[in-house]
Structure formats: C-alpha cells, structure tokens
Structure 1
Amino acid sequence: MRFQGEEEAAAKVPVTSPFRYNSPLVQVSLIGLVCFCCPGMFNALTGMGGGGQVNPDAANNANTALYTTFSIFGVLGGGVYNIFGPKVTLAMGCSTYVLYAGSFLYYNHQQDQTFAIFAGVLLGMGASFLWAGQGAIMTSYPTATRKGTYISLFWIIFNLGGVIGGLIPFILNYHRQEKAETVNDMTYIVFMCFMSAGTLISLTILSPDRVILKLFCNRKLRLIIPAAWASNFFYSYQFDNGAQMIGSVGIGYILDFSFKSRRTRGLVGVGIVAVLGTVIWAGGLANQLNYSFDKPPNRLDFKRCGSDFAGPFVLYFSYGLLDAMFQCLVYWVIGALADTSETLSRYAGFYKGVQSAGAAVAWQVGKKKDSLAQPADCELGADHFELSIAGGPHLQGS
C-alpha cells in the first residue's frame, strides 16, 4: 500500500515503500511511540488524581510549577530543536518525565513535596523540548495532502499510552487491602520503565537537513493564541479518555479526504469542531447546574451507582472526543502555515507555550476546588472506578 504524496517528504531518498525507516509514516509512528511512553504515561499518572496520593497538594503544586515553566520555555523549544536536532532534543525532554515519576515514588515514602515540585519545574523545561520536536516532526514530515491523516495517527498512538497507562494502577492495586487510596511503589516504577523506553525510542528519530534559526512574526499564528490557551485548560479533570482516539480518526479523515479543496476541508473541520464543542459544553453546563459550592457532586462508582453513572460517563466520553478533534485541528492549521521543520518547530513551541500558560492557571483553579471532590451520597465500594466531573477521573483499587 502506498500513501499518495509521500515521495515529496523525502525527495532525496529513492521511494521504495511507505513503510521504509525514513518514511513519514514510520517517523510519525515513532514519535507517537515516544509520546505513548512519556506524555502518555504522564497523562495516566496525572489522571489517577493527586498523582496517586490521598493528598493532592503535591500533584497540584508540581503541575502548577510544570506548566508555569512550560509556558516560559515553550517558545524556546523550537530554538533548542533547531540547534540540537530531534534526537538530542527529544531525549533531553523524555528524561525529565522519568524524573517526575520518580519524584512521586520518593513522595510515597517521605511525604515531602519539594522533590515533586522541583521535578515539575524540570519537566516543564523538558516537555517544551519534547513537544517542539514532536510538533516539527508531525507537521513537517508528512506532505500537505496527508497532514490530517498523520496527525490523527500520532494522536491515536499517543492517547493509547494514556489509556493503557490508566490500567496500570488499576491492575497493580486491585487487590490491595491496606493504604488502597494511594498507589504502590510498583505503579511508579512501571511508569518510569515506560518513560525510559520512550527516551531510548527518541534516539531512533531521523534528523532533517541542517537548518538556520528563524524568528517568526506571523499574524495568523497569533490568532491561534485563544485556541492554544484553551486547549489544555480542561486537563485538570479530563485525562486517559479512549474517545480521544476516535475523535482523532474522525477529524483526520475530514481534514484530508472530505473535500477536494484544502480550504473547504479546513472550514468544514472548524465548523464541525465548533458545533460539537458548543453542544458538549452545553451538556457540561447542564450537568454543573445540578450542584454548587454548597452541594458538591457525588463521586460515582460504576458498579454501585448504575444508571446514575451513565449520563456523566457520556459527558466525560464526549469531552475526550472533543479534546482530540480540537487539538488535531489546531495542529493541522499550524501545519498549513509552513512546510519547513525549523519554522514549524517554532510555531509548535509557541502553541505549547501559550497552551501551558493556560494549563498552569487551570491547575490552580482546580486546587482551590479540591474540597468539591469528596465522596458524598453514593458509597464507594472495593475495586472501583471513580468518575467525578469536578475532581477528575480516578482509578483506584482497594
């Protein structure tokens, strides 16, 4: 099987197969595996709620430090990528994920959040390097006619990491009888092993031709700021959602195959995401009107709460669907602004920097509302999956 247009992506290399090592398909798949192992497992770690701890303060403060640093270094990530190339840039970024997971292993024993906050600062720097490299590879390696397809492919692999990572604490803590509200040491060790594997995989990414640093002053890019600010704002309560893979496939098809005109495909994609976003957030508002500061929402156990679980679950599923469609669309738009990896790495770094500034604010907003995530009417049983729209997803075994 041959993907139309892949020849241009590697013009200097004779074309034999889309599955050759230096093809866009293989290279985007490899960066997907890197993100499967590192930010994917980070999402699973964060998605446990409080980093797997009873007291969420350490995780909230670490994430605030992370995204604050990320917002500063995000715009510098493209420059680092252009100087050191993808291998070194990605490896440096991936190594900080290992340290971050290790800080919670340390916290499991010492209950001192200093290391976690420090690791969060370093991860903010490292993540800026990783996502600048990822953005450059994902948006510049594929040809214009297949950017949506490859972005959706990346998003499937990446989000599969969060989904599989979400099963790790469930499996490893399912039968625990003591201290079941915190995860065991092996949970963090497994996360660290995946993240270490991601660091090694990053060394297999091929480098593009040598590039010259460029500053960008693109008015169209500045128009993306509101979308960038909002794109990670909801991650304080929505992680590890299998619907993200479904959403990425759908929007990828629309952006590459729905119409002959690239402009028409883009406008249709924006329209669909806008309509879905309005409907889904209207559903979120309707759900939120059922509770207040004085009457917090219940935590729902899918084994004990029955039909009460269905509505919030559909809403949570829809959030994940919209998340992937929204982010794939933004990346596709960024990819349409330029074709060279050096320019796109700057654009991706700018996007991630603004995105992380929004996320830093979101985590502090979430911290102020931790009290809303306490169990209420529906009693939780053993071996349960918790879903709290206000407090985020929590996977716990007891």
Structure 2
Amino acid sequence: MEEAGKGATTTTTQSPAHLVEAGQVKIPTGWKYKKLKLGPITLPWYASPESQLILVSFVCFLCPGMFNAINGLGGGGQLDQDADASTASNSALYATFAVVGFFAGTVTNALGIRFALSFGGLGYCVYISSYLCYNHTRNFGYVVFSGVLLGCCAGILWAAQGAIMMSYPPEKLKGRFISWFWIIFNMGAVIGSLVELGLNFHKDHNDTVSDGTYIGILILTFLGACLSWTLVDAKHVVRRDGSRIILMKHPTWKTEILGLWETLLSDPYVILLFPMFFASNWFYTYQFNNVNLPRFTVRARALNNTLYWLAQMFGALVFGFALDFPNVRRTTRAKAAWVVMFVLTFAVWGGGYVFQMKYTRGDTESGNIFVYDWRSSGYVGPMFLYISYGFYDAAWQTCVYWFMGAISNNSRKLANFAGFYKGIQSAGAAIIWRLDGLNTPYMNLFASCWGLLAGSLVIALPVVILKIKDTVPVEEDLAFTDETIEDVIGHKVMNEPHEREKVYAMVRRE
C-alpha cells in the first residue's frame, strides 16, 4: 500500500478525526471528493470506497470475467478431443498461481494497487490470444506458457482485488460490497457468454468456437488492463463518515515477506479456513469439462454458460445483502450463513449425483453418449442443475470473503488473507485439472467435489463460532507495538498514551 501521511494530523489529507465537530463530518476538497448528481440520484465521489470498488469490479469484469466465459464452455472453447491443451494450460496456471498466491499480498503491498491490477490484466490478454493461435497452429506450448504467465499475473490481480473489497468498506457494508463486486464481475462472464452464444448460435452440433469469439474477448481483456490505471491510491480513499482505510507505510520486501509468517503466527485460526479455500475452485473443472463440455452442443454450452454466470450474480446479490442484514447481529448472521451453505451443499450436489449416475468418461470417449441441444427433449433438467451450480459457487465465494472480512479490517492483513485464499484455492484447482488430464473417472471427480465442500465447512465451523465478532476494535486490528505504530504514522513515537492515541485518530472517527 501507499505510505500513510507523516507527522501530526494538521491537513484535510490526514485523519478525519480532528475534523469531526458537533457531529459534522468534513470531507477533503478537490475533484476526487465532489459528488456527481444525475437527476434525483447522487453518485459517491470518485475517491470513495464505492467508486473504487466499482472500478475494480469492472477490471475483473473485463479480465477474469472473460476468462470465465471462455473456460465455462469447457476445453477453453475447443472440442472435447482437443481439450488436452486447455487442461494442461489450466493445470500449469493454477500450479503457478498456488505459489505466487502466497506472496501476492506482499507484491501488491510493495508495488501498489494500480500496477498490480494492470500487470494482472495483461496476463489474461496473452491467455486468450493463445487459444486464437491454437485454432490455426495447434501450438500446444504457447497455450501452456500462457497458463504459466497468467498464474503469475492472476495471483497478483486477485490479491489487490481482495484487499480493496475487504478493507475499503465499513464493517456494516462488507457483505454488500462483496455482493456488488461479484455481480459486476460475473456480468463480465455473462457478456462474454452472450458473445459466444451470438457467434455460435447456428451451430447445433459440438464444435470449436469461432475466431471472432477469441478476438472479441481478447480486446475486452486489454481494455480491462488499461482501466486499472483509473484507480486512486488507497491513501486518498475517504468513506462517507470521513474515516480512512487502515494503511501501512510503503513496505520493504523483507518486512512484507516476514509479514506472511507473522500473519500465521498472530492469526493461526485462519488455517481452519484453508480447506474452504482449497475447495473453492475445485469444482470448476468438473462442472466445465465433465458436465458442460461432453453433454451439450456448442450453442447449448454457451447458453448454459450464460445462465451459470447469471445465477452467480443472483447468488451474490442474495447472500451479500443477507450477510449485511442490519437487524441481526453479525455473529448470528455468520452462523446462519454456515447452516445455509451446509444445506445447499447436500441439496445441489445431491441433484448432481443423480445426473452423474447417467454417464461415464468411457461413454464420452467412445461417443456412446447423448449430447443435449437446447431443442432436445429433457434439456431443461440438466440446464437447471447447471444454474444451481452457478448459484452455489457465488454463495460459497461470497461467504468465504465475508468470513475473512469479518475477522479483520486491516488492509495489510487482509491482503495476506486474500493471497493465502487465492494460493490455496489455486493449488486445489491445479490438482483437479491434472486429475482430469489423467482421465480420472467422472464419478471420482464428482465425489471429491462433494466431499471437500462438506468437509471443509465442518472444519471451518470453529472460526465461524469463535472468531467472528459483532465488531473488530481498531486496537485489536493493529496490535499496537512500537514497530506497528511506526508503520502506521511513518515515524518513531514515544511510548506515551497521547502518541498512541494519534494512531487511533488516524484510522477511525471518534
């Protein structure tokens, strides 16, 4: 993150605490803090958490959103017999992501949000271009290389995104911010899927998607990388109540690498969330490559893909607002979310078991399998199952992010949480992509998805019950040692109460 303001809080660019008089909040001056009125609607100022979240959401709309649109077709849009390149690329992608993810919070803190997001976006451009190339040259190596590169880029992009989404909003709006992000982000996959559907509308048989699909999505990912430069530095972001983000000074590589280890030492309970992290992308391979790809025509795959990501938007909306329901204590909401996820796990995946019983990988390889088109008799049932898978995914991701955001408000710590989340998530994805490449039976992969999801919920229960509180005090978030205070205010302090009080004033309204 960028360095916090140094010295005493004497200007409007410093802590808002000294500006609060008689219940009034004074916001800094300048174009970044001017509200824009569109008729009866007043939009938040540019340097508000809301505006910055929307910008980050559209970066993800254009980059990982388009990635999801392509991968949601199964095989990266290729035919089933050509899916080996996609499987190898994604296995390399997530293996790299798993390593980079552990240090992505460190890189994001050191390089800054804008550079991290822009660098991440360029990796998606290269990844999409590799499939366009593969359509003509069958260059297997370039597709795999693009996966390795994207693993590095995406790890950093998602750490930056996670730090913003979890630390910018006030506590009472964290679920809503996650919901807004997930809706906009998944709208990208919906738009990408609609492009695929339009360009492949007349293909009532199983086929590779057209060049135009890859070219259109390639352009959109490049625009996403450019959009990241419109963000402002975190130190300029001011909430509606005048409070600012908990910031640390610009870190050294040494202190940030040590920070990863210190996060595990100071918050060892986060290890209980690791199985949820591991399971959170595990099921994509099964859904995309083992359900959508072998069982549907290319245009039905595109339609399924569109509905899948629409269901994600709806799921994020429902869970995001429910998790922020104001008349229920946060501890109660956390427990209720856990119960709902446990019930959904058995309801949705129970339906998936019934569908999976009807075919095997051997049937697919021999061609002895019925392929659904949207005009086929019996298509509606599998379509609704696929929609349920999308809704469930959004519910799972929203809850995991909300659980992490409910534990802390410290952006440095949350950047590391996000790095752990994406790293462990990607380790799981790398493994299952490889298992799919080894032609593991469909039923085995299905059972692993169901078992991991249910088991990880049970392991995470102590964190939900014991560590999520109704609010997180700033004092607990910052763990006020002399070194931490120096990190926050940018200079050494005397070990006196009034000096420490300065730190509180810099990060909250009083």
User: Is the pair's TM-score, using the shorter chain for normalization, greater than 0.5?
Assistant: yes
For 1:56 and 1:96, locate their aligned partners in 2 and report how far apart those are by CA, in whole Å.
Answer: 21
* Cα drift, residue 299 of structure 1: 2.5
Query: Is contact 1:67–1:356 with CA below 8 Å preserved after alignment?
Result: yes
Partner of 2:478: none
Partner of 1:65: 92
Which runs of 5 or more residues in structure 1 are unaligned?
1-6, 373-388, 391-398
Query: Is contact 1:108–1:185 with CA below 8 Å preserved after alignment?
Result: yes
- The equivalent position to 2:281 in structure 1, one of 226, 232, 243, is 232
- In the alignment, structure 1 residue 311 sits paired with structure 2 residue 360: no
Partner of 1:249: 317
* Cα drift, residue 75 of structure 1: 0.8
For 1:293 and 1:62, locate their aligned partners in 2 and report how far apart those are by CA, in whole Å.
Answer: 21
Letter in 2 for 1:70: F
* Cα drift, residue 175 of structure 1: 4.6
How many residue pairs are counted as aligned between the two chains?
365
Partner of 1:278: 346
Partner of 1:112: 139
For 2:179 and 2:319, locate their aligned partners in 1 and report how far apart those are by CA, in whole Å.
Answer: 7
Query: Is contact 1:160–1:245 with CA below 8 Å preserved after alignment?
Result: yes
> Residues 309 and 74 (structure 1 numbering): CA distance in 2 closer, same or farther, change over 3 Å?
same
Partner of 2:335: 267
> Residues 93 and 162 (structure 1 numbering): CA distance in 2 closer, same or farther, change over 3 Å?
same
Partner of 1:200: 226
For 1:318 and 1:263, locate their aligned partners in 2 and report how far apart those are by CA, in whole Å.
Answer: 27
Letter in 2 for 1:225: F
Partner of 1:363: 433
Partner of 1:349: 419
After superposition, the CA RMSD in angstroms is 2.5
Partner of 1:376: none
For 1:115 and 1:91, locate their aligned partners in 2 and report how far apart those are by CA, in whole Å.
Answer: 22
* Cα drift, residue 237 of structure 1: 3.9
Per the alignment, in what secondary structure is the counterpart of residue 112 of structure 2?
A: helix
Per the alignment, in what secondary structure is the counterpart of residue 257 of structure 1?
A: coil
- The equivalent position to 2:209 in structure 1, one of 163, 171, 183, is 183
Which runs of 5 or more residues in structure 2 are unaligned?
1-15, 18-24, 36-42, 236-248, 289-304, 448-510
Partner of 1:381: none
Partner of 2:125: 98
* Cα drift, residue 180 of structure 1: 7.7
- Larger Rg belongs to: 2
* Cα drift, residue 293 of structure 1: 4.8
- In the alignment, structure 1 residue 40 sits paired with structure 2 residue 112: no
Letter in 1 for 2:227: I
- The equivalent position to 1:301 in structure 2, one of 373, 397, 416, is 373
Query: Is contact 1:258–1:265 with CA below 8 Å preserved after alignment?
Result: no
For 1:325 and 1:48, locate their aligned partners in 2 and report how far apart those are by CA, in whole Å.
Answer: 21
Per the alignment, in what secondary structure is the counterpart of residue 223 of structure 1?
A: helix
Post-superposition Cα deviations, 1:330-375, rounded to whole Å, max 9, x if no partner, equal 0011112221222111110100000001111121222334997xxx
For 1:197 and 1:67, locate their aligned partners in 2 and report how far apart those are by CA, in whole Å.
Answer: 24
> Residues 185 and 151 (structure 1 numbering): CA distance in 2 closer, same or farther, change over 3 Å?
same
> Residues 302 and 269 (structure 1 numbering): CA distance in 2 closer, same or farther, change over 3 Å?
same
Per the alignment, in what secondary structure is the counterpart of residue 139 of structure 2?
A: coil
* Cα drift, residue 267 of structure 1: 1.0
* Cα drift, residue 125 of structure 1: 0.3
Query: Is contact 1:51–1:59 with CA below 8 Å preserved after alignment?
Result: yes
* Cα drift, residue 139 of structure 1: 0.4
Post-superposition Cα deviations, 1:255-302, rounded to whole Å, max 9, x if no partner, equal 101643111111111111111112111111222223345555632112
Partner of 1:129: 156
For 1:185 and 1:293, locate their aligned partners in 2 and report how far apart those are by CA, in whole Å.
Answer: 29
Post-superposition Cα deviations, 1:31-86, rounded to whole Å, max 9, x if no partner, equal 11011100000011112222222211111110000000000100111011100110
Percent identical pairs in the alignment equals 41
Alignment of 1:50-89 (within 5 A): 50-54=75-79, 55-89=82-116
Letter in 1 for 2:339: G
- The equivalent position to 2:392 in structure 1, one of 304, 322, 335, is 322
For 2:342 and 2:320, locate their aligned partners in 1 and report how far apart those are by CA, in whole Å.
Answer: 16
Post-superposition Cα deviations, 1:16-37, rounded to whole Å, max 9, x if no partner, equal 6562111111111111101110
Per the alignment, in what secondary structure is the counterpart of residue 301 of structure 1?
A: coil
Letter in 1 for 2:78: Q
> Residues 121 and 43 (structure 1 numbering): CA distance in 2 closer, same or farther, change over 3 Å?
same
Partner of 1:396: none
Query: Is contact 1:238–1:320 with CA below 8 Å preserved after alignment?
Result: no
For 1:131 and 1:332, locate their aligned partners in 2 and report how far apart those are by CA, in whole Å.
Answer: 15
* Cα drift, residue 211 of structure 1: 4.3
- The equivalent position to 1:27 in structure 2, one of 52, 57, 80, is 52
For 1:97 and 1:294, locate their aligned partners in 2 and report how far apart those are by CA, in whole Å.
Answer: 33
- The equivalent position to 2:170 in structure 1, one of 118, 132, 143, is 143
